[in-house]
Chain A
Amino acid sequence: MRTAKLSNHSIKTKYYRIITLLFLLLVVTVTILFFYINSQQSRLKAEREVLQTKANTIDELAGALNEVFFRARGYIALKSSNELTLLNTALENLDGILDQYATLNLSPEEAEYRDALSDYYTNYKNQTLPKVIKLVEIDDYEGIRALSQSGSTQSLNDFLAYTKAFKSNSDEQLSYMADRSIRKADLYTFVAFGISAFLLLFLTLMIWRMLKVLIDPIVRLEEATHSLAAGEAVLLGRLHKQDEIGRLYEAFLNMAHSIQDKEEELTMQNEELQAQQDELQDQQFKLERSLIEIESIMKALNQTSAVGILSDKGLFTYANDNLGKYTGYSHSEMIGYPFRLLELLNITDSQLEQIFYKLSTGGIWSGEVETLVKDGSASVWLHMTVMPYLNDEGMVYQYILIANNITSLKSAQQQLAVTLQNTEQTTVMLERYNQLNHELTYTLDKQEFAGKFSRFMNQIYAFDSSLFFLVKDKIAVVKGVPQDKVERYLDHHHLDMLHRLQEEKSYIVKRTGSPREQGISPDEVDCYDYYTSVVGGNDEILAVFCGSRIGHPFTEEEISEIQGLVSRVALAIERIMMYEEIEHGRKLNQDIVNNVNEGIQFVNTEGVMQHINKALSTLFHYEWTEGSLVPADDWLDAFTGKSNESAELRSFYENAMAESAMESSTMKYSLGKEEIQHVDVYAIPVLRREDRIGTLFVHRDITREYELDVMKSELVSTVSHELRTPLSSVLGFTELLLSKTMKPEKQLKYLETIHKEAKRLTELINDFLDLQRMESGTQQYNVEPAHLSEIVLGVIDQYKLSSTHHILFEDEAVHDEVAVDKDKIVQVLTNLLSNAIKFSPGSHEVKVMLHNEPGRILVRIQDQGLGIPKNQIGQLFQKFRRVDNSASKRIGGTGLGLAICKEIIEKHKGSIGIDSVEGVGSTVWFSLPVQLAEDSRPVEEMSKWGADKELKPSVMIVEDDYSLSLLLSEELKGKGFRVTHHYHPQKAFDQALKTPFVAIVVDLMLGVELDGWDLIRMLKNDPRTEKVPIVISSALDQTDKSLLENVKTYLTKPYPPGELSNTLQEIVEIKLKSGEVLFPDNDL
């Protein structure tokens, strides 16, 4: 397959192909040329023949015509018949030629000429000639001449001329044709030359190409061969040809590669050899150096050490000077002598045997050897190394011995060992000190400290009993001493001891042991008591240590050790005391800081919060544990987040903490949403010496001041309104009076109004003044004994005519003797009552209740009004304070009333308060101390029905005369009744429906609309109240008999009050005895 393919591409095949192609091309071209020339020549020949024929024919024609004319003229001239016969023959000849001419291939010109000739001839032959013949026959030569004159002869001449012209023309043509054939022959010759030239060119091209294809690679191959020979890299690209050259290339490349590979291998081997050689040289060099080194080592060794060489038998064969110097033997005394010459003190014979055994097996021995010098006067310590030399069979043939004198080293070592022992002892001591130090350093409590120290001493010095005693704090720690003895020491005995210790720092008492100390020992034992004091910086005895040992005296070391320990303890005690002092100071500071109302916050320069006090922690509800450090971001977020002015507070903090802020700064912010707290904070940089160590923030809760400010400004506007209204009236009416004329009645009315308003104005101003006076403490109180019930009734009496509210008075107070400024109490009551009325616009009733509590009397004023929000109750008694809601705001008032009341009541040693439910109503109460007269009966005795309020029989008095009401109520209360006052029949009836009364006392003369009788009628007509006994108290006589049957008793005024109480008591007693139900059933 490959060979076949190769043969297709081989150069030989290509050569054959090209030659064949060229030959074929030549044959085809020559053949075509030959045939083409041949045909051209034959065509020319035929044309030439035609032309020749035409020329001949025309020649013949011309001859024939000449013949005809010649015979015709001859006949005419001769009139011979022979001539005529000859003429006819000429004519026939001409006919034949004409016919022949007509058959020729004629050009159109020739054809026209032929036709003209033919016509002429026909005309001549058929007409002219017969006419002429006739004319001849008749001899009319005149006619003949005329005829010839008419033109026939002319045309004949023309024809002849034409013939001549034609003849010459055809001759010309012939000669032209000959020229053309010659030119054509020239052309052919040229073409043949061109073809041959082309072929030659083609052949040259082919050969050139062939050469190029063949020669170039060969040349390159040659170059490659040269470079290969020169050992350079063969830069011969692969020839992508499959012919012989290609294969040659491939073969050459393969050869080149294999040559190169071989060459590389050789180079490598060569290099290896080179390296080996280098190494050998190096080793040689090293060996030489080693030799020198060994020599110098030997020299050095000889300088510093003793060197000896022994034979395999152990005889010295060499010994250097040093060896002699160390041992005292001379050179000659050693060489040839055995090793045993040296007497080894620290090595036994058996050890020596072992050593030699080891050496004989090739081992090296090294060790310290003590040997006697020659004269035996001293010993020398040598550090000796013995090394055997083995021959090829592994047998020892000599030993080398190297020894160093270490005698001085040895003695130094021994000294060191002694020192070390001493050091160890010191270390133990120090460790003890350290242990004590350690224990004491971490103790800041004196008791614990004393315990630790005592334990330590007992442990280390084995005291059988001991006492450690801190003088100032009277703290004692004991071991093996009974408690009573300790007390004795602490109490007085120690004074002697202290006195002695003042003089000498420590002392030891040796004594005979007590029986207890003697224990089971049959003999007496000695006891040693060691006393020492711990002395502080200013020679003050801080503590005393006494230790007792039975039968063990104290060594000097122990005493000095203990002294050392004690001086350390002094430092420790002083440290503890200092710590306590500092701690105390710190605690004090902390307590101060924590108990300050202001919130205090300290932030270091990095913004880390290091301390806040309790007040601040409470203010921000921020949990902080003592000592914890809070990064700036954390506390800033927590603090500013709680403020309503978050961003401003943050920037205040940041500005204050900025390094540049060296001045103090302040700002105000608020906290909380519902109960807003107003805080004023100021920041001051804190400096230690010159350096800033942080910033201190002091937060002061200014809510009160803030609210006070707000209240004050509110008050100003309220007051301005309150003052302007009466002023408007006063000014207005005055102006009307001045500017208008009017009736006297009207004038009077105006004046009254002006007067009233002016009074109102005065009251208002008085309120302010009162309060101002009270606050400044200049208010005068005219205290005198009085009955509170009387005062209350008096005030209520003034409200009787109020159209809006009915005032109910429930009086249970048995003791109402008080020492008061009556006017002031009236002022309080008026104020509270008008408040109750003002603030209960929706209801129509205000209830006043009076009762005793131990030692005091309580007044409660209850309304069913707006009530007061819980959180505001506490603030109500503050100045300028009114209930802050829209409903109450509209009611107006100075807001001073309750503050005034509070001032007054408190000045009377009483208290005042409010219980209120918002939307349900309020009860304002105040209490005053009761002035018990010497002869007055205790409350318990007076109450026949017990002290229980609920069990007290309740009586209602319906009476509009307040002095009479008062009289009756005093009497009834004295008898233990609970009294309810009413002045309005309808209200009284309503009340009777609600409250169970034992009896109702009715005055007949009551209001205008209803009177006592109406009330009685209502009571009796209602099933719920019909059973209630009624007592009439009237100035009138018994008039209405019809109703009297329903009335229990009819008392006609004036009657002694005792009569009423007796009557009522009777009623109650009867009811109790008979078991009658006293009270209307509530369920009914």
Chain B
Amino acid sequence: MQKVLIVDDEEVLRMLIEDTLEDLENVEIHTAENGAEALTKLSQQVYDLVILDYMMPEMTGIEVLEALDIEQKNAMPILMLTAKAQENDRSKAREAGARFFMPKPFSPMELLQIVEGILHENSEAL
């Protein structure tokens, strides 16, 4: 059973992503509505993928990444959802440890494909 954590402050978007991924087999979906909650969840267990929103109140996606250990970041792929498609934000996110990007607005089917790809790769690696 693979685990995916969705972190987004917008409830509708959480719902959208959750519903997009619900058909994946053997995948358990968790959600967090802000950075603090995400960090708590990340400290409790290992996820196979974290989908992280960039612009969140209280704590941005980058700040969440910065709070994580390097080992943790290396251990799990992070997909960052960003409304800011600018390149400098991307490089900031990349430096902080995000490996995948998805600009908002995104296509759920495309997201699904990417997530499937990442999870597949993960299981292959295992």
A and B, one complex? yes
Q: Which of A701-720 contact B (CB under 8 A)?
A: 717, 720
B84 touches A728 (CB 8 A): no
Q: Specify which of A735, A756, A890 is in contact with B58 (CB 8 Å cutoff).
A: A890
Q: Specify which of B13, B19, B84, B107 is in contact with A721 (CB 8 Å cutoff).
A: B84
* Complexed CA–CA distance, A724 and B86 (Å): 13
Determine the chain A residues whose CB is within 8 A of the CB of B67 once the complex forms: none
- A729 contacts the other chain (Cβ, under 8 Å)? yes
A892 touches B20 (CB 8 A): no
With both chains docked as a complex, state the minimum distance between the C-beta of B16 and any C-beta of chain A, in angstroms.
4
- A736 contacts the other chain (Cβ, under 8 Å)? yes
- A725 contacts the other chain (Cβ, under 8 Å)? yes
Determine the chain A residues whose CB is within 8 A of the CB of B109 once the complex forms: 735, 739
Q: Specify which of A720, A727, A890 is in contact with B57 (CB 8 Å cutoff).
A: A890
Determine the chain B residues whose CB is within 8 A of the CB of A740 once the complex forms: 23
Q: How many A-B residue pairs have CB under 8 A?
A: 62
With both chains docked as a complex, state the minimum distance between the C-beta of B30 and any C-beta of chain A, in angstroms.
19
Q: Specify which of A724, A756, A892 is in contact with B104 (CB 8 Å cutoff).
A: A724
* Complexed CA–CA distance, A728 and B16 (Å): 9
With both chains docked as a complex, state the minimum distance between the C-beta of B82 and any C-beta of chain A, in angstroms.
9
A729 touches B12 (CB 8 A): yes
1/0 per residue, CB under 8 A from A, across B5-27: the answer is 00000101101100110010000
Q: Specify which of B57, B84, B106 is in contact with A892 (CB 8 Å cutoff).
A: B57
Q: Give the nearest-CB partner of B107 in chain A.
A: A735
Q: Give the nearest-CB partner of A727 in chain B.
A: B105
A732 touches B83 (CB 8 A): no
- A891 contacts the other chain (Cβ, under 8 Å)? yes
Q: Do A891 and B57 contact each other (CB < 8 Å), given the known contacts A732-B20, A753-B12, A757-B12?
A: yes
* Complexed CA–CA distance, A739 and B59 (Å): 34
Q: Which of A679-717 contact B (CB under 8 A)?
A: 717
* Complexed CA–CA distance, A720 and B84 (Å): 7
B104 touches A728 (CB 8 A): yes
* Complexed CA–CA distance, A730 and B86 (Å): 22
With both chains docked as a complex, state the minimum distance between the C-beta of A747 and any C-beta of chain B, in angstroms.
11
- B32 contacts the other chain (Cβ, under 8 Å)? no
* Complexed CA–CA distance, A266 and B10 (Å): 137
Q: Do A736 and B108 contact each other (CB < 8 Å), given the known contacts A720-B83, A729-B13?
A: yes
Max chain A C-beta neighbours (<10 A), residue from B20, B23, B55, B60: B55
Determine the chain A residues whose CB is within 8 A of the CB of B86 once the complex forms: 717
Q: Give the nearest-CB partner of B102 in chain A.
A: A728
Main SS class of interface, A: helix
With both chains docked as a complex, state the minimum distance between the C-beta of B14 and any C-beta of chain A, in angstroms.
10
A728 touches B57 (CB 8 A): no
Max chain B C-beta neighbours (<10 A), residue from A721, A731, A732, A740: A732
Q: Specify which of A725, A731, A735, A891 is in contact with B10 (CB 8 Å cutoff).
A: A725
With both chains docked as a complex, state the minimum distance between the C-beta of B90 and any C-beta of chain A, in angstroms.
14
* Complexed CA–CA distance, A735 and B15 (Å): 14
- A733 contacts the other chain (Cβ, under 8 Å)? yes
Q: Give the nearest-CB partner of A726 in chain B.
A: B12
B106 touches A890 (CB 8 A): no
With both chains docked as a complex, state the minimum distance between the C-beta of B5 and any C-beta of chain A, in angstroms.
19
- B39 contacts the other chain (Cβ, under 8 Å)? no
Max chain B C-beta neighbours (<10 A), residue from A720, A728, A729, A731: A728
With both chains docked as a complex, state the minimum distance between the C-beta of A650 and any C-beta of chain B, in angstroms.
32
Determine the chain B residues whose CB is within 8 A of the CB of A725 once the complex forms: 10, 13, 83, 104
Q: Specify which of B13, B19, B56 is in contact with A728 (CB 8 Å cutoff).
A: B13
Q: Give the nearest-CB partner of A720 in chain B.
A: B83
Q: Give the nearest-CB partner of B57 in chain A.
A: A890
A736 touches B56 (CB 8 A): no
Q: Which of A887-917 contact B (CB under 8 A)?
A: 890-892
Q: Which of B43-77 contact A (CB under 8 A)?
A: 55-60
Counting chain B residues whose Cβ lies within 8 A of the other chain, the interface size class is: 20 to 34
* Complexed CA–CA distance, A834 and B109 (Å): 35
A727 touches B58 (CB 8 A): no
Q: Give the nearest-CB partner of B60 in chain A.
A: A890
With both chains docked as a complex, state the minimum distance between the C-beta of A764 and any C-beta of chain B, in angstroms.
13
Max chain A C-beta neighbours (<10 A), residue from B86, B105, B106: B105
Q: Which of A97-123 contact B (CB under 8 A)?
A: none
Determine the chain B residues whose CB is within 8 A of the CB of A736 once the complex forms: 16, 19-20, 108
1/0 per residue, CB under 8 A from B, across A828-854: the answer is 000000000000000000000000000
Q: Give the nearest-CB partner of A717 in chain B.
A: B84
Determine the chain B residues whose CB is within 8 A of the CB of A756 once the complex forms: 12
* Complexed CA–CA distance, A1072 and B46 (Å): 71
A724 touches B107 (CB 8 A): no
Determine the chain A residues whose CB is within 8 A of the CB of B59 once the complex forms: 890
Determine the chain B residues whose CB is within 8 A of the CB of A733 once the complex forms: 12, 16
* Complexed CA–CA distance, A735 and B111 (Å): 12
Q: Specify which of B15, B55, B57, B104 is in contact with A753 (CB 8 Å cutoff).
A: B15
* Complexed CA–CA distance, A736 and B56 (Å): 24
* Complexed CA–CA distance, A110 and B38 (Å): 152
Determine the chain A residues whose CB is within 8 A of the CB of B58 once the complex forms: 890
* Complexed CA–CA distance, A717 and B86 (Å): 10
A721 touches B55 (CB 8 A): yes
Q: Give the nearest-CB partner of B17 in chain A.
A: A732
With both chains docked as a complex, state the minimum distance between the C-beta of B58 and any C-beta of chain A, in angstroms.
6
With both chains docked as a complex, state the minimum distance between the C-beta of B88 and any C-beta of chain A, in angstroms.
11
With both chains docked as a complex, state the minimum distance between the C-beta of A752 and any C-beta of chain B, in angstroms.
10
A724 touches B105 (CB 8 A): yes
Determine the chain B residues whose CB is within 8 A of the CB of A731 once the complex forms: 105-107
Determine the chain A residues whose CB is within 8 A of the CB of B107 once the complex forms: 731-732, 735
* Complexed CA–CA distance, A746 and B16 (Å): 12
* Complexed CA–CA distance, A727 and B23 (Å): 23
1/0 per residue, CB under 8 A from A, across B89-118: the answer is 000000000000000111111000000000
* Complexed CA–CA distance, A727 and B12 (Å): 11
Q: Give the nearest-CB partner of A888 in chain B.
A: B57
* Complexed CA–CA distance, A717 and B108 (Å): 23
* Complexed CA–CA distance, A724 and B82 (Å): 9
A729 touches B57 (CB 8 A): no
* Complexed CA–CA distance, A717 and B107 (Å): 21
* Complexed CA–CA distance, A723 and B121 (Å): 34
Max chain A C-beta neighbours (<10 A), residue from B10, B12, B58: B12
Max chain B C-beta neighbours (<10 A), residue from A733, A739, A746, A890: A890
Q: Which of A868-900 contact B (CB under 8 A)?
A: 890-892
Q: Give the nearest-CB partner of A725 in chain B.
A: B10
Q: Give the nearest-CB partner of B12 in chain A.
A: A729
Determine the chain B residues whose CB is within 8 A of the CB of A729 once the complex forms: 10, 12-13, 16
Q: Give the nearest-CB partner of A753 in chain B.
A: B12
Determine the chain B residues whose CB is within 8 A of the CB of A724 once the complex forms: 83, 104-105
Determine the chain B residues whose CB is within 8 A of the CB of A732 once the complex forms: 13, 16, 20, 105-108
1/0 per residue, CB under 8 A from B, across A364-401: the answer is 00000000000000000000000000000000000000
With both chains docked as a complex, state the minimum distance between the C-beta of A795 and any C-beta of chain B, in angstroms.
24
With both chains docked as a complex, state the minimum distance between the C-beta of A755 and any C-beta of chain B, in angstroms.
11
Determine the chain B residues whose CB is within 8 A of the CB of A728 once the complex forms: 13, 16, 83, 104-106
Q: Do A735 and B108 contact each other (CB < 8 Å), given the known contacts A721-B83, A890-B58?
A: yes
**Which 10 A-B residue pairs are closest in the complex by CB-CB distance?**
A890-B57, A724-B83, A728-B105, A732-B16, A724-B104, A721-B83, A727-B105, A729-B12, A731-B105, A728-B104
What would 17 more interface pairs be, CB under 8 Å, given A728-B16, A732-B16, A732-B105? Answer: A717-B86, A720-B84, A724-B83, A725-B13, A725-B83, A725-B104, A727-B105, A728-B13, A728-B104, A732-B20, A735-B107, A736-B20, A736-B108, A756-B12, A890-B59, A890-B60, A891-B57
Question: What are 23 A-to-B residue pairs whose CB atoms are below 8 Å?
Answer: A717-B84, A721-B84, A724-B104, A725-B10, A725-B13, A725-B104, A727-B105, A731-B105, A732-B105, A732-B106, A732-B108, A733-B12, A733-B16, A736-B19, A739-B108, A739-B109, A746-B19, A753-B15, A756-B12, A890-B57, A890-B59, A890-B60, A892-B57
Residues of chain A having any CB pair with chain B under 8 Å: 717, 720-721, 724-725, 727-733, 735-736, 739-740, 746, 753, 756-757, 890-892
Residues of chain B having any CB pair with chain A under 8 Å: 10, 12-13, 15-16, 19-20, 23, 55-60, 83-84, 86, 104-109
